Structure 1
């Protein structure tokens, strides 16, 4: 699914995905229409614009992640022309899966798709967060004296 208020961006993303073999693409020109589609149609991945009138990308992520329905684990790729650290952190803290910076290229569109399909991150849940685990690197197992008793080897 592609959720973006800019028809040219929807066309570019859709053309690249279609050219790569994605057969069924749902297009939504607003965040509200994107949410309706997620609730009524099986969606595998969503490319969502950050800045949209009405329901913006952050609100879209929050609605999906706060739901108790199956689609709450939907991979969401945030598409944005504003990739400053504050916006990246805000989206990450809402539970975004990946980022795609505008202007997009065919390679970047497909790289993000490959990332969420072939290298999915486990989801984490706490009192204040639900979404893909924010840690991107696996820590080496700690072998020091203060290792927890329940950990393997201890």
Structure 2
């Protein structure tokens, strides 16, 4: 992709008014290739036939909400693209909801009401995000650790972290208690 005009965005929202607002904001930022879906099922069908570069997803939808749809995209063996960046749109921004979206594999979070500046920042981040994707027993998505401090000296939690050896650190015990 060389410019925003090359990006194809899928908006998944059951509100036609919200899709209209998002469509206007995306056009103002230079994104013209857009598809719309009112339901998760409609979005999945569309993703099977059209290459999508970014999904803008509303949380509160029926019969499948945005959180369940994000999990389906990330974890289902039948997902058309488990690596597609997903931005969750919602007016409910409690810490527990942000954490739940992150844990479902969402790339970013956009609070409603949406401002053009915030939407553009989040879209830019999602499209240029270089975090690796991580798979564990109950998670698949962008690494939830947004950045690693090169000066961090431990305690380390993962065998893949640099500096890990087979010694036991008392801080490990304190952090897990």
- Residue 13 of structure 2 aligns with which residue? 4
Whether 1:131 aligns to 2:147 is: no
1:43 is aligned, of 43, 46, 52, to 52
* Alpha-carbon distance change, 64 to 113 in structure 1, aligned in 2, over 3 angstroms: same
Task: After superposition, give the CA deviation of every residue in 1:61-105 in whole Å (9 maximum; x if it has no partner).
Answer: 011001345610010000001011121111111101100000001
Conserved? CA contact 2:56–2:87, under 8 Å: yes
CA distance in 2, matches of 1:61, 1:119: 17
CA distance in 2, matches of 1:81, 1:45: 20
1:25 is aligned, of 34, 51, 68, to 34
Runs (5+) with no aligned partner, structure 1: 150-154
CA distance in 1, matches of 2:99, 2:152: 28
- Residue 102 of structure 1 aligns with which residue? 112
- Residue 83 of structure 1 aligns with which residue? 93
Conserved? CA contact 2:48–2:80, under 8 Å: no
- Residue 152 of structure 1 aligns with which residue? none
Q: How does 1:142-153 map to 2 (within 5 A)?
A: 147-148=163-164
Runs (5+) with no aligned partner, structure 2: 1-9, 157-162, 166-177
CA distance in 2, matches of 1:136, 1:112: 14
TM-score between the two structures when normalised by the length of structure 2: 0.77
CA distance in 1, matches of 2:118, 2:37: 21
- Residue 3 of structure 2 aligns with which residue? none
TM-score between the two structures when normalised by the length of structure 1: 0.88
